[in-house]
Structure 1
Amino acid sequence: MGHLPPDTPRHRPDRAIDPAEALHRLFGYSAFRGQQEDVVSHVIAGGDAVVLMPTGGGKSLCYQLPALCRPGIGIVVSPLIALMRDQVAALRQLGVAAAALNSSLTGPERAKVRADLRAGRLKLLYAAPERLLMPDFLEMLDGAEIALFAIDEAHCVSQWGHDFRPEYLELAQLGARFPGVPRIALTATADPQTRQDIAHRLALDDARLFLSSFDRPNIRYAVLRKEAPLRQLLTFLRAHEGESGIVYCLSRNTVEQTAAALNAHGIKALPYHAKLAPETRAANQDAFLTTEEGLVLVATVAFGMGIDKPDVRFVAHLDLPASLEAFYQETGRAGRDGLPAETLLLYGMQDLVLRRGMIEQSGAPVEIKQLERAKLDALLGVCETVTCRRQAILAHFGETLAQPCGNCDNCLTPAETWDGTIAAQKALSAVWRTRQRFGVGHLTDLLLGVKTEKIERFEHDQLPTFGVGTELDRKGWASVFRQLIVRGALEVDHENYGALCLTPAGEAILRGKESVRLRRETASGSARTLLKKKAERLEVAAADQALFEALRAERARLAKAQNVPAYVIFHDATLAAIAAARPASTAELARIPGIGASKIERYGAAILGIIAG
């Protein structure tokens, strides 16, 4: 990856380039999307920018085009080797002289990249922040003409964000060291506080903010009560046979166990976590991103940031993420190609207790703990809402969606609610009468009138609340307690073995000053039906299906020969458009979105030959 193959065309502009012309000639698109054109024009003119644009919204183009249209080289800060590799491979397919400098390169490869940089043979260079900030690298940049600095995944600079990386803090020095060179910071996930922090910490307070909608309408959100997680996951995955997706788990052990269980049930899955041997981790990531279609990657959050694979069709969480930002970032890896994708979050009482315990037991400062609690509460609010989940998610990011989305579980199978005031008072009374010293299991035994050894030892069978809750079963009371915790009526005392304690809000309910409506848990049959729902994918007419498959086979052959992911050659949507239009010449082929001049030169004859039969 470190140097350009001999046959790679060089894009070295010797005249001013019109961005719209470059968009069509290089990338094969006839028009910009959303705010892309404004961002590109602003940066080409030398302006600094902070860009917030959803995953799959075309952020990369916002710095790639200005780098190509301005004199000099664009330096891109990226935190992940896999992302650098995919971006470089895709740019080279377009005929752009691009390279990356990272720890995966051999000594000679690194030397070649440095030589290309010094000689002005590169237009885009990707580097991790710690490598970019090495004194020798900065000195080398001092002698180069720099078109711009792009800081990708810019939320990593914020301690208020969900993926803080201390090395990003040092990037603020770029503005002082390279005055006059435009800088553009980009991220897909940042609430208002994180946005301000990005601008301040990167010394971009005067930069223009480009804020796009966070909405990803092609993604369906579903949150279900965790009952039998493996069974629920298998039901979900069997609706996605032959498709690529990610399953997130909290612990390394759960990752290993889940991957093994999926394979045992005939679903090809590979594990990914930080403690795997580096060569195994790299091989599994490469298999998912590059070599194998229809693969499930079971991973901790060690996998994913910056992943550029466009055809991830689903993301499932077997455990509760740390925050709504983390959830949105992780689910955002699905459907980057704009085609329908599904997400599933399974969560229960233990997830809630565990996540809150992790916050309390961390060594973080008080203000960070307070923020993490608020972020977790925002996610719990989305989990428990009975209204449109997308509206709740977007509201967290300061955006209003006027109408329910019609593409989340609450819209597709509207949740029922019930007057839970009396049940809530019974639960809260059980907490109060046991002196706020016991957890959910014991309190449920008390309400159901179960004479366990513990109940009898503490003489709780003598309390007025003993046996007053037989109208609900264990699952029903677990739901009541969970919802009371989420709404702030109860708190978990993590220093006292998970005992539940009343809050002022809980006391108000107990005294009859507030009524409570609770979410009725989805019946198992309805949940299974929802798990099996899958939106229509790519629309390929029956008459075009054979040609579409022939084009996919040729793409797979080309990708294997070049050792690149199939999607960097052509997306499925491009192949479907070719199959429908059946172009008979290169001029007609050039009208298909996503096919630029370089790809016509490389693959045009083969495509036209397949169409001709």
Structure 2
Amino acid sequence: MPDLPVPAAMDSPVPVRPGTDPAEVLHRIFGHTGFRGRQEEIVRHVLGGGSGLVLMPTGGGKSLCFQVPALCREGLGVVVSPLIALMEDQVAAMRQQGVAAAALHSDLPEDQAREVRRDLARGAIKLLYVSPERLSFDNTLTRLAEHPIALFAIDEAHCVSQWGHHFRPEYRGLGMLAERFPDVPRLALTATADPRTVEDIRVQLGLQDSPVFRGGFDRPNIFISAAAREQERAQLRAFVKSAGDGAGAGIVYCGTRAKTEQTAEWLRADGHDALCFHAGMDPAAKRDSHRRFARGDAVIMAATIAFGMGIDRPDVRWVCHLDLPKSPESWYQEIGRAGRDGLPARALLLYGAGDIALARHRIQESPAMPEQKRIERARLEAMVSIAEAATCRRKILLRCFGESLEGDNPESCGACDICREPPKLFDGTVPAQKLLSAVLRTRLNNGSHFGLGHVVDVLRGKLTPKVAQFAHDKLKTFGIGTDLSEAAWKGVARQLVARGALDVAIENHGELVPTDAARPILKGEEKVLLREEMLTARAEPRTTRAGRAAEPAMAGDALFDALRAWRKREAADQGVPAYVIFQNDTLAAIAERRPEDAEELAMIPGVGRSKLERYADAVLRVVRDRA
């Protein structure tokens, strides 16, 4: 296994005296003039010795909630993080800020691990990132107990909960921190947790008596849309063309490993720089794909959900799902990897009736306990309701997290496809009855059913060899559906599957099987409202909550492009992701203000003392060259 890259060399650490006001640390180290949202409240709570749970959306600034108090308090800040790539990137970012940071994890070569332990013993580390496995391994806790501890931060805290979407059994042992270090503040942080998961996190980490800081889950800069998966490649091609900016990255989430490889292959054939990522890949190949993505190239990553936590790249411009996620929590976290820089981003979900049926089947056949199955089924149905929504998708999504839309119109977000162009609803009771009747009448004597294609042929009066073989042209339902197209009938079927009136027998060649919920529809006791189907995925313009079109800041500006090119070269020389040098919004501000000296450069958000000392000459040279 090749050695992991050593984080960029750090100049002498920027000194922070314990007790320094957090606002001064925020400005001097991180280059920001003020906190956002509830950040300052959380920071001052921890400074006072308090523990708590922080719920903030991806890109909402969770890291500052523990980084700032760790620097202001006496002792070592310990951050428990689940992924090696995440730790490496965060350590590199901290060292860029002039913070003495290091990481301990299982893939760290032994000579580097010894060096970290030596630095730890002599008090030369201020912020230590550690995996949960390593925390309980090799007497790490005993070593930590020999030093004053400023705080413990448990990042991606949903991994603690068995109800969470990325449960990690090794996280369950972190409850012992409250027992072994009762006087040390513990801050758990996550971007996605429904009410059940929140309570489980609090119980597992001993935070029942500590406050929960909710920063709001809404990400209005992400335009969300969903469509029936009709022509997958054509739909994805159209989305990539409209959503990409030519400089940022995109992610395509696929349901299987094989599909990631196939998708990356045809995207490359289309001329895109596409990679694949899944758990079955060689570890070295996975690290290479992840680092190519992280370093700032304009790449497309076709991946399973194994490409999950640890994606800190801020300029991901779009995320597309080619298969239905298993829960709103999973989907929200995955689309939340777009637009972390606060600039407009896009999310598209493509799905089919088979996705819904397969997910239901997997839950039913899983060895999980009945209560776990019930919860998973409820989460899946919530995801189906988002996909099949006829009203604001964002409103339904936020409801899953116990929140509601804010703003002038609590019924419309203005930044989803439904709000942009509301679908037309029609009384679909008769088409639903026709389709359900055709499914029942084509049933064989042994109880077997037929798939959707055959049922649609019967409805549309298409005398195929199979229809003739089973004499289904003699049925009363033969030819009663010529008023609807084949695609429209598929839409009716998918919506009936979504509402639970039809099931798809995955284990038996996709047979359509009516459920008990079909009975009141057939008897005329239940009205069925259906959406008119959109047969192609339209390319909606990126919008803000106000509904105005917006593009990534400064895209195409000569100075901005020159600054980005300089950043890419600098990051490559140091072996770190480009965004840890400067984020796009900082480069955009530099391009807009065109500072003439270091004093003016220091006034730009994101330019802290360490970065000013390190990069001022080079940045000002680029600005002067484009004057």
Same fold (TM over 0.5): yes
Question: Which residue is equivalent to 1:377?
Answer: 381
Following superposition, the deviation at residue 496 of structure 1 comes to 5.5
Partner of 1:349: 353
Q: Residue 424 of structure 2 aligns with which residue?
A: 416
Output aligned runs, 1:96-495, within 5 Å: 96-134=99-137, 136-239=139-242, 240=244, 241-290=246-295, 292-401=296-405, 402-434=410-442, 437-438=448-449, 439-452=451-464, 455=467, 459-494=471-506
Q: In the TM superposition, what are the counterparts of 1:586-605 in structure 2 within 5 Å?
A: 586-605=598-617
Residue in 2 that maps onto 1:579: 591
- CA 1:87–1:4: 2 relative to 1, 3 Å: closer
Partners of 1:11 and 1:380 in 2: CA distance: 50
* 1:367-420 deviations in Å (ceiling 9; x for gaps): 222211111111111111121111111111111111411111112232122210
SS in 2 for 1:222: strand
Contact 1:2/1:105 (<8 A) preserved: no
Q: Which amino acid aligns with 1:270?
A: L
Comparing 5-14 and 67-76, the one that deviates more: 5-14
Cα separation, partners in 2 of 1:2 and 1:96, compared to 1, 3 Å: farther
| Displacement after TM superposition at 1:365 (Å) | 1.9
2:552 to 538, 552, 573: 538
Instruction: Confirm or deny: 8 A CA contact 2:228 2:535 kept in the other structure.
Output: no
Q: Answer whether contact 2:568 2:578 (CA < 8 A) is retained.
A: yes
CA contact (8 A) 2:390 2:423 kept: yes
Tell me if the contact between 1:2 and 1:101 (Cα under 8 Å) persists in the aligned partners: no
Opposite residue 257 of structure 2, the aligned amino acid is R
Is the Cα–Cα contact under 8 Å of residues 11 and 123 in structure 1 kept in the other structure?
Answer: no
| Counterpart code for 1:416 | K
Query: What residue is the counterpart of 1:520 in the other structure?
Result: 532
Q: 1:132 to 1:313 in 2, by over 3 A?
A: same
* 2:31 aligns with one of 28, 32, 35: 28
1:39-58 alignment, distance < 5 Å? 39-58=42-61
> Which segment drifts farther, 471-480 or 371-380?
471-480
Q: Secondary structure at the match of 1:26?
A: helix
Q: Could you tell me how far apart the structure 1 residues matched to 2:506 and 2:241 are?
A: 38
Deviation at 1:204, TM superposition (A): 1.4
In 1, Cα distance between equivalents of 2:366 and 2:300: 32
**SS across alignment from 1:221:** strand
CA deviation profile, 1:347-375 (whole Å, cap 9, x unmatched): 11222222222222322222222211111
Contact persistence 2:275–2:302 (CA under 8 A)? yes
For each residue in 1:120-155, what CA deviation from the matched residue of structure 2 results, as whole angstroms up to 9, or x when unmatched? 111111111111122511111121211111111111
The count of corresponding residues between Structure 1 and Structure 2 is 608
> Contact 1:224–1:347 (CA<8 Å) still a contact in 2?
yes
Query: CA 1:150 to 1:219, structure 2 compared with 1: closer, same or farther past 3 Å?
Result: same
The reply to whether residue 83 of structure 1 matches residue 82 of structure 2 is no
The runs of 5 or more residues in structure 1 that have no matched partner are none
Shift of 1:54: 0.1
Secondary structure at 2:119's aligned position in 1? Answer: helix
Structure 1 residues 5 and 537: CA distance shift in structure 2, 3 A:
closer
Could you tell me how far apart the structure 2 residues matched to 1:517 and 1:307 are? 40
SS class of match (2:494): helix
* Residue pair 1:3, 1:99 contacting (<8 A) in 2 also: no
Distance in structure 1 (CA, Å) of the matches to 2:617 and 2:344? 31
Q: Secondary structure at the match of 2:139?
A: helix
Pairwise CA distance, 1:492:
3.9
Distance in 1, matches of 2:80 and 2:420, equals 41
SS in 2 for 1:162: coil
Distance in 1 (alpha carbons) for counterparts of 2:605 and 2:93:
16
Report the CA distance between 1:467 and its aligned residue.
2.6
Distance 2:493 2:535 in 1: 18
Query: What is the alpha-carbon distance in structure 2 between the residues aligned to residue 303 and residue 200 of structure 1?
Result: 29
Q: Give the aligned residue type for 1:443.
A: V
Q: Which blocks of at least 5 consecutive residues in structure 2 are unaligned?
A: none
State how far apart, in whole Å, the 1-side matches of 2:184 and 2:510 are: 54
Distance 1:15 1:392, change over 3 A: closer
Partners in 1 of 2:464 and 2:568 — Cα distance? 62
Query: CA contact under 8 A between 2:10 and 2:98: conserved in structure 1?
Result: no
Shift of 1:306: 2.5
Which deviates more from structure 2 when the two are superposed, residues 147-156 or residues 473-482? 473-482
Could you say what secondary structure the match of 1:186 adopts? strand
Distance 1:103 1:135 in 2: 11
Contact between 1:157 and 1:168, CA under 8 Å: does it hold in 2? yes
In the superposition, relative to structure 1, how do residues 351 and 541 fare at CA in structure 2: closer, same or farther (>3 Å)? closer
Give the letter for the 1:261 counterpart: W
Q: Does the 8 A contact of 1:437 with 1:500 survive in 2?
A: no
The AA in structure 1 aligned to 2:301 is: L
CA distance in 1, matches of 2:542, 2:192: 29
Q: If the length of structure 1 is used for normalisation, what is the TM-score?
A: 0.94
1: CA distance, partners of 2:383 / 2:17: 51
Q: Is the 8 A contact 1:235 1:531 kept in 2?
A: no
Q: Is the 8 A contact 2:542 2:549 kept in 1?
A: no
Structure 1 residue 459 displacement after superposition: 4.8
Report Cα offsets for 1:451-473 as digits up to 9, x if no partner: 45554555544433233222223
Please give the secondary structure, in 2, of the residue aligned with 1:57.
coil
Report deviation, 1:226: 0.9
Work out the CA distance in 2 between the residues paired with 1:3 and 1:431.
Answer: 62
2:347 is paired with a residue whose SS is strand
**Aligned-partner residue type, residue 418 of structure 1:** F
Q: Contact 1:101–1:110 at 8 Å: present in 2 too?
A: yes
Q: CA deviation at 1:11?
A: 4.5
Between stretches 546-555 and 213-222, larger displacement belongs to 546-555
CA drift of 1:491 comes to: 3.4
* Structure 1 residue 486, shift from structure 2 partner: 1.2
Relative to structure 1, the CA distance from residue 523 to residue 155 in structure 2 (aligned partners, 3 Å threshold; closer, same or farther) is: same
Over 3 Å counting, the alpha-carbon distance change for 1:156 and 1:464 in structure 2 is same
Structure 1 residue 546 displacement after superposition: 2.8
* Matching residue's letter, 2:501: A
8 Å CA contact 1:431–1:500 kept in 2: the answer is yes
> Residues 312 and 521 of structure 1: is their aligned pair in 2 closer, same or farther, counting only changes over 3 Å?
same
**1:495 Cα shift?**
5.9
* Cα distance between partner residues in 2 of 1:58 and 1:437: 55
CA distance in 1, matches of 2:550, 2:539: 16
Pairwise CA RMSD: 2.2
Secondary structure of 1:325's counterpart equals helix
Aligned mates of 2:10, 2:310 — CA distance in 1: 28
Identity, % of aligned positions: 53
Cα 1:476/1:111, change in 2 over 3 Å: same
Question: How many angstroms does 1:541 deviate by?
Answer: 9.4
Using the alignment, how far apart are the partners of 1:322 and 1:248 within structure 2? 12
Kept after mapping to 2: 8 A contact 1:538/1:573:
no
